[in-house]
Amino acid sequence: MNSRKTRIISSVFAVMFFFMIAAVPTLRVRAEESTPVYTTVEEAEQYIAEQEEIAGAANEEIDTANQYITEQTVPAYATFWALIPPIVAIVLALLTKEVYMSLFVGILAGGLLYANFNVEKMMNTVFVSGMMGKLTDSWNVGILIFLVILGVMVSLMNKVGGSAAYGEWASTKIKSRKGAMLSTFGLGALIFVDDYFNCLTVGSVMRPVTDKFKISRAKLAYIIDATAAPVCIIAPISSWAAAVSGVVSGENGLNLFMKAIPYNFYALLTIIMVIGMSIMKFEYGPMRKHELNALAGDLYTTDARPYEAGENQVVTGKGKVIDLVLPVIVLVISCVCGMIYTGGFFSGEAGFIDAFANCDASLGLVYGSFIALVITFFIYIPRKVMTFKEFTESLSEGFKAMVPAMLILTFAWTLSGMTKMLGADVFVANLVQGSAGALQLFLPVIIFVISIFLAFATGTSWGTFGILLPIVVAVLEPGSEMLIIAISACLAGAVCGDHISPISDTTIMASTGAQCEHISHVGTQLPYALTVAAVSAVGYILAPLINNVFITLPLMIVIMIAVLFVLKKIYGEIENY
């Protein structure tokens, strides 16, 4: 009996083995048919490009399906309720002065609206789709790495004594508060390639000088912020020009950007404002109190000292001016090279300007700052201005100094993502499209105001003009002066909203660069930014009527200067300013 079972089992295995042997050639042929065979690298690259195109089309269809599901399941989607989370966060921040908790409450409000008040879904939305999603985004991670490396470099320059030496040297060359403020503005205008880089570098270099002349940290933060995005948005060779060029389809994006510069009233008039406030010796709004306190010896006014750990760092080296200036120069050059490297300049794929247009600014800044850090090591250690142990200590100290900025950025990114999930961009875009036909003559000022509101609520200027620019280009006649004015209004409004938003990353960077309490910076700069915004709005009403930039721009500059003189007459000059 057992031998019979054994024969049966053996026969079954024999049949199975036979079929397996017979199937091998067929499977091999099928595998050969399904696996492409390449003879050159170009063929493989072409195959990848084709597959990416197929995947891109599939992703667009998936996104459309997901949007339909969201529209059907989220009652707040693309309604005014989508703007409630940032409004809650901003109002709470201004009332309580607690930026972390305010942002988190705004995020929770967004999560509840998106989940239709289902607590379990809200938790998933806030932490998985929200925070974890933002912290796994390569662009965001790149910015955080750049922040850490820059914090390390600032710590190194402080510890070696380079910052103190530069402050002492600058105090012999810069003789007044006016000179210190104008020097800060000038350095900010020179570093126009990227606003993040601008904010942190200018703050690190000029903070010892402005402290020497008793300029409040709030005023320093305002000057930094006002010469970051407003300068970048009118610089043809910058990460901002690249971003604008990339979102305009069907037109030459860089050409439109260049034509829009003279009509970018907010950016240009902000520069006039900074220079005017530096030389006219007066302040108004909350900034006046901060400046009066600074003259009395209190640079902060508020009790909050979020960057105190970095400021109380002990100087152990005998650094010279070169120990600050040379690392900063290396940082500037290496970051520019890093950006154009990611745009294909060194591989010969693009020219200098095209490389900026195609660059990955986040990755480029990481490459550049890391190279600068390595070079700084060889600047300091062989000269024995600091020991290897002191160098390694600065790694953790620099990281600690940037924790407040990193935390605020993480919350701000999450809140911005929440408003996008709720369809705030769709809601605002529909408003623009609805007003395009009936009020075309007033379209530039309408676009300006809507751009301010959207950038203020979402904390992103790039996201704002990424949403609105394609709509503006689509509804207006190609090549017309009205198109150029409307594009400028969109860019100006995006920068203005970004400039005054507490959840804007550039506003956070300016606070970090100046080492100023964040809400103090937001509150003190708000009246100044709104003054320029009001004058700019007048410009966007007049521009379509005059239809000539050579008349409109000088007129707006004159009006801006006249407003400054009126404000000085009202508030009066500050003594010993």
Residue with tokens 């350095």: 187
Q: Say which range, 251-255, 297-301, 447-451, 530-534, has the weakest mean pLDDT.
A: 251-255
**Taking CA 235 as the corner, what is the angle to CA 456 and CA 358, rounded to the nearest 5 degrees?**
90
Comparing 194 with 125, the larger pLDDT belongs to 125
The per-residue pLDDT for 187 is: 81
Question: Residue 385 — pLDDT band, cuts 50, 70, 90?
Answer: confident
Residue 93 resides in a domain: no
Domain count, the chain: 1
User: Of 305 and 329, which is predicted with more confidence?
Assistant: 329
- Least confidently predicted of 14-18, 316-320, 448-452: 14-18
Query: CB of 294 within 8 A of CB of 367?
Result: no
On the question of pLDDT at 402 being above 70, the answer is: yes
pLDDT band at residue 306 under the 50/70/90 scheme: low
DSSP codes of every residue in 528-551:
HHHHHHHHHHHHHHHHHHH--HHH
Distance in angstroms (rounded) separating the CA atoms of residues 205 and 267: 23
Region 144-165 average pLDDT:
82
Helix (H) or strand (E) segment spanning residue 63: helix 41-73
Q: Note the pLDDT of residue 566.
A: 95
C-alpha pair distances (Å), 359 with each of 135, 209, 413: 21, 34, 21
pLDDT at 268 (0 to 100): 94
Nearest to 561 by CA among 274, 273, 282: 273
Q: Which tops the pLDDT comparison, 60 or 365?
A: 365
Q: Does the structure show a pLDDT above 60 at 180?
A: yes
pLDDT in tens, 232-246: 788 765 556 655 655
Q: What angle do CA 389, 397, 166 make, to 5 degrees?
A: 85
pLDDT score at 14 = 57
Residue 126 is classified by DSSP as: I
pLDDT of residue 312: 53
The average pLDDT across 171-176 equals 81
Domain assignment of residue 350, yes or no: yes
pLDDT of residue 24: 47
User: What H or E segment, with its residue span, contains residue 29?
Assistant: helix 2-34
Distance CA(219)–CA(185), nearest Å, equals: 11
Statement: residue 31 has pLDDT above 50: no
- In our burial notation (b when 16+ CB lie closer than 10 A, e otherwise), range 180-199 reads bbbbbbebbbebbbbbbbbb
Q: Is residue 21 part of a domain?
A: no
Indicate if the pLDDT at residue 16 is higher than 80.
no
Share of the chain above pLDDT 70, in %: 79
Whether 552 has a pLDDT exceeding 90, the answer reads yes
pLDDT at 528: 95
What Å distances lie between residue 553 and 53, 239, 244, 265, 486, CA to CA? 44, 25, 22, 8, 15
Average pLDDT over the chain, rounded to an integer:
80
Q: What is the pLDDT of residue 97?
A: 67
Residue 531: inside a domain, yes or no?
yes
228 pLDDT above the threshold of 80? yes
CB 390 within 8 A of CB 353: no
Name which of 502, 460, 499, 509 is nearest 143 in CA terms: 509
What is the identity of the amino acid at 179?
G
Please check the confidence at residue 91 and state whether its pLDDT lies above 70.
yes
Q: Taken in order 477, 479, 480, 483, is the CA torsion positive or negative?
A: positive
Cα separations in angstroms, 113 against 79, 151, 401, 465, 560? 11, 37, 35, 25, 42
Q: Is residue 539 scored above 50 in pLDDT?
A: yes
Per-position DSSP letters for 364-417, written without gaps between them: HHHHHHHHHHHHHHHHHTTTTSS-HHHHHHHHHHHHHHHHHHHHHHHHHHHHHH
**Contact criterion met (CB below 8 Å) for 465 and 120:** no
Whole-angstrom CA distances from 511 to 13, 156, 210, 321 are: 75, 20, 15, 25
Query: Residue 479 above 80 pLDDT?
Result: no
pLDDT at site 357: 67
Domain containing residue 252: 138-571
Q: How far is CA 447 from the centre of its chain?
A: 21
In a domain, 28, yes or no: no
> Which of 304, 293, 279, 366 lies closest to 331, judged by CA?
366
User: So what's the pLDDT on residue 317?
Assistant: 56
> Is 241 within a domain?
yes
In terms of residues, how long is the chain? 577
Query: What's the pLDDT at 273?
Result: 94
The share of the chain scoring above pLDDT 90, in percent, equals 20
In a domain, 86, yes or no: no
175-184, 464-473, 538-547: segment of lowest average pLDDT? 464-473
- Token pair for 49: 């490009």
Which range (30-39, 71-80, 201-210) has the least confidence? 30-39
In a domain, 56, yes or no: no
- State yes or no: pLDDT of 197 exceeds 70: no
Q: Which of 142, 123, 121, 145 is nearest to 132 (CA)?
A: 123
Q: Contact 234/261 with Cβ under 8 angstroms?
A: yes
Residue 157: pLDDT band with limits 50, 70, 90: confident
Please give the DSSP secondary-structure letter assigned to residue 515: T
Q: Compute how many other C-beta atoms are within 10 angstroms of the C-beta atom of residue 372.
A: 24
**Which amino acid is it at 109?**
A
Confidence of residue 315 (pLDDT cuts 50, 70, 90): low
Least confident of 309-313, 444-448, 481-485: 309-313
Q: What pLDDT was estimated at residue 148?
A: 87
CA atoms within 13 A on the CB side of 241: 23
Choose the weakest-confidence range: 358-362, 379-383, 453-457. Answer: 358-362
* DSSP three-state, residue 438: coil
Does the pLDDT value for residue 551 go beyond 80?
Answer: yes
Q: State residue 30's pLDDT score.
A: 45
Residue with tokens 């008040």: 117
